[in-house]
Amino acid sequence: MTVDEVPWWMHPGSVEVRIVAAGGWWDAVRVPLDPGTDALRNLGDETGAVIGDGFGGRLYWLIPPGSAADWELPQVRVLGRGCHVAIPPLHRVTRPGLYWRVSPSRDHEWTNTPRLHSALRTALLRGKPPTI
């Protein structure tokens, strides 16, 4: 990936995980690994950048700032203004630790918020134990 292809908020030469404030360039949506993997499969090529947390068992989608402020989904947390997200270096695309499950680029950074909401809702309903 060349410097021209990298989102401008990334540091292409960075070799360390960085802590970046959410709510400016993007918000992040944090989801447990199982429903997150199901939602990622549902989204296919429609997903934007996704961070995997190999230790914490979570996925983080990047979305436009403020676009999910009214979400109320169980097990899902929207990280916007006042939150920070650990961002792996661009070359880190495998576990352990933080890695890019789907790497960002200038034309493939955010996930469409309504589409992500739908994919997560479906994944969470599918994973819900039946009620008696």
Which pLDDT score, from 0 to 100, does residue 1 have?
A: 47
**Residue 28 to residue 6: CA distance in whole angstroms:** 18
Containing structural domain, residue 49: 3-127
The per-residue pLDDT for range 24-80, each reduced to its tens digit, is 999 999 999 999 999 999 999 999 999 999 999 999 999 999 999 999 999 999 999
pTM: 0.88
- Does residue 90 sit within a domain? yes
132 part of a folded domain: no
Of the segments 8-12, 17-21, 49-53, which one has the largest average pLDDT value?
Answer: 49-53
Number of domains observed in the structure of the chain: 1
Measure the CA–CA gap between 98 and 100, rounded to whole angstroms. 7
pLDDT value of position 15: 76
> What integer pLDDT is reported at residue 109 of this predicted model?
85
User: What pLDDT, on a 0 to 100 scale, did the predictor assign at position 108?
Assistant: 75
Distance CA 123, CA 25 (A): 27
Q: Is residue 14 one of the residues assigned to a domain?
A: yes
The predicted structure's pLDDT at residue 107? 73
